[in-house]
């Protein structure tokens, strides 16, 4: 069975600084997709960034980028130039052959002004 682990329950960053959220996963599949979702307080989850396992190039979306290390089964999220609106719970998620998303336990990110 696939598992997703986020070892940082909480993180804090100063506004305009950079923060990296960690995620590791375990799978025996070779074809899968990885996602980072953001869940602001009392609001729905939204997709931040996605990575296809067969692509070696790390995905980037504006201030958000990932460091995908397939051999190490690591998928970290880097947020550059942090903004107050980035404060939220961040979930790492895996989707393999079964189509369902498997989530980690989340990292609560606080942004200090």
Binding site for other proteins (CB under 8 A): 4, 6, 32-33, 37, 42-47, 50, 52, 91, 93, 95-96, 98-106
Token pair for 109: 């990110």
Considering beta carbons, is residue 50 or 70 the nearer one to other proteins? 50
Q: What is the DSSP letter of 84?
A: G
Q: What is the DSSP letter of 59?
A: P
Considering beta carbons, is residue 32 or 82 the nearer one to other proteins? 32
Considering beta carbons, is residue 17 or 61 the nearer one to other proteins? 61
Considering beta carbons, is residue 57 or 99 the nearer one to other proteins? 99
Report in angstroms how near the CB of residue 12 gets to other proteins at its nearest.
18
Nearest CA to 35 among 6, 71, 72, 1? 6
Using CA atoms, how far apart are residues 102 and 8, in angstroms rounded to an integer?
17
Using CA atoms, how far apart are residues 18 and 45, in angstroms rounded to an integer?
22
Report in angstroms how near the CB of residue 47 gets to other proteins at its nearest.
5
Report in angstroms how near the CB of residue 23 gets to other proteins at its nearest.
11
Report in angstroms how near the CB of residue 33 gets to other proteins at its nearest.
5
Neighbours of 72 (CB within 10 A): 9
């Amino acid at each position: 069975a696939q598992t997703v682990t986020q070892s940082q329950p909480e993180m804090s960053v100063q506004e305009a600084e950079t923060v990296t959220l960690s995620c590791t996963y375990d799978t025996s599949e070779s074809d899968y997709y990885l996602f980072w979702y953001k869940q602001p307080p009392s609001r729905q989850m939204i997709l931040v960034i996605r990575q296809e396992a067969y692509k070696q190039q790390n995905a980037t979306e504006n201030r958000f980028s990932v460091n995908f290390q397939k051999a190490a089964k690591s998928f970290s999220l880097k947020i550059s130039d942090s903004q107050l609106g980035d404060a939220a719970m961040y979930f790492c998620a895996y989707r393999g052959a079964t189509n369902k998303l498997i989530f980690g336990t989340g990292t609560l990110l606080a942004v200090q002004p």
